[in-house]
Amino acid sequence: MDGWLDIDHLGLRESGTHIVEDVTLTLAAPRTVVLGPNGAGKSTLLRLIHGLLHPGSGRLTWLKPLSQAMVFQRPIMLRTTALENIEYGLKLQGHAAPERRRRAAEALTRVGLESIAGRPARLLSGGEQQRVALARAWALEPELLILDEPTASLDPASTREVERIIGEIAASGTRILMTTHNLGQAKRIAEEIIFIDRGRIVEQTAVARFFTLPQTEAAQRFLQEETP
């Protein structure tokens, strides 16, 4: 498996405390899930990778330059319709109006929301907004999709729907890098697990091995605590 991102001694400190500390790893899997307790530094690591934060030390080397999109736990909707929310991202990419409309409508259909295209996005339910956010990311056809707890605020039905959409995006060839506190979801989506604790990488391992034979005490404790 060819690596696509090298992370070398990456660190970030904020008011004297290490949020991300000495992270060195290579990302190569098509679907990677980052697990770890609250405050471990998962969101910070994803934001560093997406370029929303500057590392305090170390560096990121893209072995393959990948176009990226990111989806957050709470979808950020513009004050306009669902369809125009999706078109906006395409506009930023420089696509002409007819092409934008066509691709945005197609993306809404793929997430099963074609019937709400003209509705104000901010008035949609949380689950619908998250599907619009996924459609907006998907319409850009990113080579890497980063998702930070995309189903944390959703009910089981919406969670299943979001997982189905992530599965389809992955099947279209987009690499997936995400975090979740839903261990079943991690098992269903991941090929590789990265387990972090207090800003440090503790394990990077194939999904089946992580859940059956975690190598460290920290991971064993985490699995016990997070298993309902």
Q: Which residues bind to ligand ATP, rule: CB under 6 A?
A: 14-15, 19, 36, 38-44
In the complex, residue closest to Mg ion by CB? 43
Q: Which does 15 bind (CB under 5 to 8 A by kind): Mg ion, ligand ATP, none?
A: ligand ATP
In the complex, least distance from residue 141 CB atom to Mg ion, rounded to whole angstroms? 26
In the complex, least distance from residue 197 CB atom to ligand ATP, rounded to whole angstroms? 9
Q: Establish if 44 lies at the interface with Mg ion (CB under 5 A).
A: no
Smaller CB separation from ligand ATP, 15 or 212: 15
30, 15, 23, 28: which is closest to 48 by C-alpha?
23
Contact 149, 155 (CB under 8 A): no
In the complex, least distance from residue 33 CB atom to ligand ATP, rounded to whole angstroms? 13
Q: Which does 14 bind (CB under 5 to 8 A by kind): Mg ion, ligand ATP, none?
A: ligand ATP
The stretch among 37-45, 82-90, 117-125, 159-167 that binds Mg ion (CB under 5 A) is: 37-45
Q: Establish if 180 lies at the interface with Mg ion (CB under 5 A).
A: no
Q: Which of 43, 85, 130, 185 binds Mg ion (CB under 5 A)?
A: 43
Smaller CB separation from Mg ion, 108 or 196: 196
Smaller CB separation from ligand ATP, 41 or 89: 41
Which residues here bind Mg ion, judged by CB under 5 A? 42-43
